[in-house]
Structure 1
Amino acid sequence: MNINRLPPHDFYIKNIAHVLRYKNDQRLAAYDITEPQVRLLGHIDGAHKSNQEINRRYLSMAMQISGPSVTSLLNSLERNGFIIRRSGNEDGRTITIELTEKSQKLLSEMSGILSEITDEMLTGFTEEEKTIYLNFLKRTFENLGVESHI
Structure 2
Amino acid sequence: MKCEFDERSSVTLIGKFMKIHYVTLVKVLNKHGLHKGQPYILTCLMKEPRMTQNELAKKLDVTKSTMGTSLKRMEKNGFIVRQQDEEDCRCNRISITEKGRAALEACDKDVSSIIQAMFSKISEDEEEMMNDIFRRMIEGIQSYVP
TM-score of the pair, normalised by structure 1: 0.67
Aligned residues with identical type, % of pairs: 17
Separation in 2, partners of 1:84, 1:57:
15
The alignment partner of 2:51 has SS state of coil
Instruction: Quote the offset at 1:98 in angstroms.
Output: 1.8
Deviations 1:18-64 (A, max 9, x none): 4323211212323222242122211221223xxxx723343224333
What RMSD, in angstroms, separates the aligned Cα atoms of the two structures? 3.1
CA 1:6 to 1:80, structure 2 compared with 1: closer, same or farther past 3 Å?
A: same
What are structure 2's unaligned runs of at least 5 residues?
1-7
AA aligned to 2:38 is: Q
Separation in 2, partners of 1:132, 1:57:
39
Question: Which stretch shifts more, 15-24 or 96-105?
Answer: 15-24
Deviations 1:2-32 (A, max 9, x none): xxx94559x83x6544432321121232322
> Matched residue pairs, number?
132
Separation in 2, partners of 1:42, 1:8:
32
Separation in 2, partners of 1:15, 1:83:
34
What are structure 1's unaligned runs of at least 5 residues?
146-150
CA 1:22 to 1:102, structure 2 compared with 1: closer, same or farther past 3 Å?
A: same
1:113 counterpart residue number: 110
TM-score of the pair, normalised by structure 2: 0.69
Is the Cα–Cα contact under 8 Å of residues 60 and 67 in structure 1 kept in the other structure? yes
Is the Cα–Cα contact under 8 Å of residues 45 and 99 in structure 1 kept in the other structure? yes
Is the Cα–Cα contact under 8 Å of residues 75 and 81 in structure 2 kept in the other structure? yes
User: What are the equivalent positions in structure 2 for 1:1-150 lying under 5 Å apart?
Assistant: 6=9, 8=11, 12=14, 16-48=17-49, 54-88=51-85, 89-92=88-91, 95-134=92-131, 137=134, 140=138, 144=142
CA 1:78 to 1:136, structure 2 compared with 1: closer, same or farther past 3 Å?
A: farther
Greater RCO structure (CA 8 Å; 6+ sep): 2
Instruction: Quote the offset at 1:137 in angstroms.
Output: 4.8
The alignment partner of 2:37 has SS state of helix
Query: Which entry has the higher C-alpha Rg, 1 or 2?
Result: 2
